[in-house]
Each structure stands twice: as C-alpha cells, then as structure tokens.
C-alpha cells in the first residue's frame, strides 16, 4: 500500500475500537503496514484536528467528530466491498482494490454506487442476469 492517508488512519482506528474496544499504536501500525513512529505522528495530528484525544498512558479516544467521520469511512469501505463482490470481482482482489479506490471517489459516486447496490438487492434476479452476461462475455 502507498503511504496511508489521514482517512486510512481514522478508518483503521475506528474499526479497531469498534471491534476490540481500544486501538493500540502497534495494532494501527500493523494494519497499515507502517512504522509505529508514523502512527504516533499521525495520532498527534488527529488529536490537534480534534478527531481524537490522545493521552500517553490511557490511550486514545475518538471525539464525536472522530466517531462520525470514522463510521462514515468504515461504512464506505464496506459498501465498496459489497459492490465489488456483487459485480463479480474475485474475493482475493476485493480488499486491496477497495483500499486502492476508496479515497479517490467523490461522495457523489459513493451515493450512486449505494443506489446500484440497493437496486441489485431489491431483486436477486438482477444479479443472476448480470452473472449470465459476465459468463457470456467470458466465453467469447
Ligand atoms: Co479501507
């Protein structure tokens, strides 16, 4: 992965707290494949921008703003995973592809993808039709 953005950090922190109840520097570093010193630096920036409160011995706590944005980023990630899965992207490619595109799409595009996912969910027959077209094109 390229150098993680502030959004990558916030997304990772939100997910860790959601799943484990806390986010340690070592866990953040491992998930983003960066050196712990980079994590510490970004945590200071996120603290300064009021996404979280960092206390050396108590760890970090997301502020209301941090929670709201973090949730939005995690929801976006999940939506894109769902979308790529629906259109037939192979399981082993999904996570990396989502990491690659999620920060580059406008919220306009995200909303349109959300609508498309909903469109497919409303009638499973639509997904079957899509899969049939894919098989047809693959066999050409
Ligand atoms: Co992500």
pLDDT-based confidence at 87, cuts 50/70/90?
Answer: very high
Is the full-model pTM beyond 0.85?
yes
Angle at 109 between CA 103 and CA 115, to 5 degrees: 125
Cα(78) to centroid(ligand 1), Å: 8
pLDDT-based confidence at 3, cuts 50/70/90?
Answer: confident
Is the Cβ–Cβ distance between 63 and 53 less than 8 Å? yes
Cα(18) to centroid(ligand 1), Å: 14
Cα(98) to centroid(ligand 1), Å: 6
Pairing type for strands 59-62 and 52-55 reads antiparallel
Cα(8) to centroid(ligand 1), Å: 6
Q: pLDDT tens, 39-53?
A: 999 999 999 999 999
Q: pLDDT tens, 10-35?
A: 999 999 999 999 999 999 999 899 99
Ion ligand 1: protein residues whose beta carbon lies under 5 Å = 77
Cα(77) to centroid(ligand 1), Å: 5
pLDDT-based confidence at 1, cuts 50/70/90?
Answer: low
Q: Enumerate the H helices of 87-123 as residue ranges.
A: 91-101, 107-122
How high is the pLDDT of residue 28? 95
């Amino acid at each position: 992965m390229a150098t993680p953005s502030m959004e990558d950090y916030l997304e990772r922190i939100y997910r860790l707290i959601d799943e484990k109840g806390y986010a340690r520097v070592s866990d953040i570093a491992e998930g983003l494949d960066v050196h712990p010193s980079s994590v510490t630096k970004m945590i200071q920036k996120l603290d300064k921008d009021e996404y979280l409160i960092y206390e050396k011995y108590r760890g970090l706590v997301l502020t209301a703003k941090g929670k709201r944005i973090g949730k939005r980023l995690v929801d976006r990630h999940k939506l894109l995973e769902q979308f790529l899965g629906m259109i037939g992207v192979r399981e082993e490619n999904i996570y990396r592809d989502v990491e690659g595109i999620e920060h580059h799409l406008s919220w306009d595009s995200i909303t349109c993808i959300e609508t498309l996912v909903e469109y497919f969910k409303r009638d499973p027959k639509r997904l079957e039709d899509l899969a049939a077209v894919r098989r047809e094109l693959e066999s050409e």
